Amino acid sequence: MLALWGACAVADIHGAPLGKRGQPRFVLTDIDLSNCTSVLAARDLLARLRAKGRPHLCLLRETSVRAAVQANALGATATLSSDAPACLLRETIGAMLGAGDAPADRAEFRRDVSAATVAFSDMLAAAAAGKPLPLDAIDQGVLSINRAASGASLDDWLALVRGHDDMTYQHCLLVSGLAAAFGSHLGFCEEDRKLLTCAAVLHDVGKARIPLGILQKDGGLSATEREIVSKHPQFGYDMLVAQGDVRRDVLAAVLSHHEYLDGSGYPNGLRGGEISDLVRMVTICDVYGALIERRSYKPALEPCAAFGILANMTGKLDPALLRAFQHMTQLSGKASAAA
């Protein structure tokens, strides 16, 4: 979550030193304040980082006078329980850093991206646990994404969500932001834009049922692992059908976003007219998002290189929608350069 406000570094108070670093903009500590050795080590580390006077949130593992005194001695400017819900943690950090460290419009943008991240976290956690998805929270996440995409350039969105450490969250946020911007570029009414963004938000929900060891693997996947990953559209579809109250066109996007117009996609080898416009748009956003995001085994591609690959997918992607999508990204790039 901290990555939403910029680059982050994690320090083990008993581990190797972080090396030479500038003064941090924000500090979050989560240590056992009843352990004198840990407190002294944290105090020494914070002194070396010149963290005194910076916004400092200390997470308390117990509510006691002793813990409060120790947190104050470390220089904490605010405290929260270590089991505080993600939404409260986000709001507190935003109040301490995000809102005060940026102009009002930029702070609002960061709050929207952060709110979307929390919605994704709740959604994927529920999916992984086999629990009902929090549809109301997802709807609020969709609104946050659309608002953020309207209030900032596409490049701003991409730059911020690329800071997310979890690759699944990063990809979902990238694709959802691309979809929100695409709907706006195409002149969609608010309802249709919400539909497209919602389909993008949910498109990879089935990955919550894929083992983390596969999703976060360094390097390429084996044939067996690729087969397991290829089941995520069906997993997501079955999950949403069982839950109910999800639109059929959104279900189609979840199940069919890896289908191609020439019938070479999966899971059902659909062709041409069997693939709706909504699915075609989510597919373009998904493929482009995968190309421009960083992975442990590959660097992020520049837009020009990514569109070179998309252009070579002859017969697989809708050519008219692809041209419109490329035009949108070019306009965003020019707007960012002008700013």
**CB contact burial 272-304 (16+ within 10 A = b; e otherwise):** eeebbebbbbbbbbbbbbebbbeeeeeeebebe
pLDDT (tens digit per residue) in 133-191:
999 989 999 999 998 888 777 888 887 777 666 677 788 889 999 999 999 999 999 99
Quote the pLDDT of residue 338: 46
Quote the pLDDT of residue 337: 47
CA 60, 63, 68 angle in degrees (round to 5)? 70
Evaluate whether 229 touches 290 at the Cβ level (below 8 Å).
no
- Checking if the pLDDT of 52 tops 80, the result is no
Identify the residue with better confidence: 21 or 318. 318
Evaluate whether 175 touches 282 at the Cβ level (below 8 Å).
yes
- Rounded CA-CA distance 247/253 in Å is 10
Confidence tier at 336 by pLDDT (50, 70, 90): very low
Evaluate whether 264 touches 301 at the Cβ level (below 8 Å).
no
Kindly list the domain boundaries of the chain, sorted by start residue. Answer: 23-84, 96-338
- Rounded CA-CA distance 251/253 in Å is 5
169: left (phi over 0), alpha (psi -120 to 50) or beta: alpha
- Specify which of 68-77, 115-124, 185-194 reaches the highest per-range mean pLDDT: 185-194
Quote the pLDDT of residue 2: 66
Which are the contacts of 229, defined by CB distance < 8 A and separation ≥ 6?
A: 207, 210, 214, 215, 221
Single out the residue of 117, 203, 197, 99 nearest to residue 150, CA to CA. Answer: 197
Per the prediction, the chain carries an average pLDDT of 86
| Cα–chain center distance at 116 | 8
Single out the residue of 174, 179, 146, 175 nearest to residue 162, CA to CA. Answer: 174
- Checking if the pLDDT of 15 tops 80, the result is no
Kindly indicate whether the domain formed by 96-338 is annotated with CATH number 1.10.3720.10: no
Q: What percent of the chain has pLDDT over 90?
A: 47
pLDDT (tens digit per residue) in 254-305:
999 999 999 999 999 999 999 999 999 999 999 999 999 887 677 889 999 9
- Rounded CA-CA distance 200/210 in Å is 19
